[in-house]
A and B are shown apart, each in its own frame.
Chain A
């Protein structure tokens, strides 16, 4: 069990460019979560899938952020027209079911310059 795998670990983009972050959940886990972590805001919930279906995206900034889960083995978080304030560590997590503990990946550190 390799755990939740996130790629890349680090990404640097120029302001206005697009960034796509990848997450491979633990095999067999039905729930996938995305969080954003910054020093100022701490851990912020972004979005949540269960059995590949989007359940709750209430934490997603509406205009430039989107998330997909095209199959049970990966999810993507796409940020269009990145801005410096998008710089953060983006954490993906999965859980066996909605009511159990989540397992986190190591995160992708996004730096927008």
Chain B
């Protein structure tokens, strides 16, 4: 069965510091992978997606993620965070067999001054 694990429920970083949010997946085939961000009282917004090809994908607001088949991971990174990046981040996998999305539990990011 497919699954997505975000091992860190909460992450706190200082403004200007680098960021990595971890995502591990379990899926029998090559997955379609996504990172979404949710700001308070908002729906989820797509940050970036990976379907195939270059394992490093660029997204909005200078976010990027790297797909690793050997590690079954799709970690989200940003070189320098801003206070406005404070939000909940979800990693998701699309099961291309039944077209159902599987979401991780989310990581709440807090950026402090």
Q: Which residue numbers of A lie inside 8 Å of B, CB to CB?
A: 4, 31, 33, 42-43, 45, 48, 50, 55-56, 91, 93, 98-99, 101-107
A-B pair count, CB < 8 Å, reads 44
30 CB-based A-B contacts, threshold 8 Å: A42-B103, A42-B104, A42-B105, A43-B90, A43-B103, A43-B106, A45-B100, A45-B101, A45-B102, A48-B100, A55-B99, A56-B100, A91-B43, A91-B44, A98-B99, A99-B32, A99-B94, A99-B96, A99-B99, A102-B46, A103-B46, A104-B36, A104-B43, A104-B44, A104-B45, A105-B43, A106-B41, A106-B43, A107-B42, A107-B43
CB distance from B31 to the nearest CB of A (A): 12
The answer to whether B106 touches A42 (Cβ under 8 A) is: yes
Contact count band on B: 20 to 34
Q: For chain B, residues 13 to 32, give those with C-beta under 8 angstroms from any C-beta of chain A.
A: 32
CA distance A62 to B106 in the complex (A): 27
The answer to whether B100 touches A101 (Cβ under 8 A) is: no
